[in-house]
Amino acid sequence: MKHILALHTGGTIAMTADSAGNVAPGAHNALLAQDAVLDGIEVTSEEIFNLPSPHVTPERMLELSRRIRTAEAAGIDGVVVTHGTDTLEETAYFLDLTLDATVPVVVTGAMRSANEVGSDGRYNYLSAIRTAASAGARHKGCLVVMNDEIHTARFVTKTHTTNVATFRTPTFGPIGLVTKTGAVFFQELINQAACPIDHVVDRVFLLKAYAGMDATLLDALPQDTAGLVIEALGAGNLPPATLPGLARLLDRGVPVVLVSRCFNGVAEAVYDYEGGGVNLAKAGVIFCQGLNGQKARIKLIVGLSGGKTGAALAAYVNNAVS
């Protein structure tokens, strides 16, 4: 008998819609009333908090990480986390970075509330439990299970505001599927490494580059800024007018991480012109490969919270090695 711990955090999967179609959290998590009945799997449910996912902070993510560590030490066989979809990918990646769990950790959610026609919450929940109970899910880091697909927390992202098939992994695709008989895996991540932390560094920001951008937003960042992620243009370029502000941040010792704002591909130093990636890399900007802006911010937060600085921080956030 496999024993799975289900940690419920709120979100649409736990909400109901009123007669006007407005979806909101209630006094009770709707999912707690839906007992999971699966052969050979015992599920223990725990409501660790009940929040819409825009209310979830890195501090709450750390609370989840600590609870999962405690559960694994107590002998649990796997963990399922139910979560709102807006920030699900960030929480999942935070868990992926901070846990060195050998047991499966699976995050899931829903695009339709419990009482809506075609609600996907219970189905995704049961699929996540099946995956967490699967021997194949062990040692694969944190996984995201939605709509019959198994994705890595590192690369999955929400791609549609309302579609039940919203979670996709650009460039690489899912690593497995949930079938009628259980979880089936076809790929796995390489270079997996954990960075356990006991606190969360604050004041790490995310900006998106755009045509005609200048240094206004860069200079508006507070003096105690701990780090900055920029979603840059194309392969990794910035408008020339941003460069003075960027230089001022780097001179203050603020780590600046660059990703591409493109949906697919990786950021790399290719272009050798004013504001081009080659010159940005020479100036000390850290290029992060394969992550989107919100994921790169989570990784920078974890790296800084883990005490990484200088070359060690750059190697960690680069994402080529972990």
CA 133 to chain centre: 22
Residue labelled with tokens 């066989």: 77
DSSP states of 289-320: -S--HHHHHHHHHHHHHTT--HHHHHHHHT-S
Task: Please give the span between the terminal C-alpha atoms of the chain, in angstroms, as a whole number.
Answer: 34
What's the rounded Cα separation, in Å, for the pair 64 and 94? 10
Residue labelled with tokens 């490969």: 289
- Contact between 199 and 305 under an 8 Å Cβ cutoff? The reply is yes
251 three-class SS: helix
53, 69, 63, 74: which is closest to 105 by C-alpha? Answer: 69
Catalytic residue check, 82: no
CA 42 to chain centre: 27
Exactly one of 9, 12, 85, 98 is catalytic; which is it?
A: 12
Positions marked active-site: 12
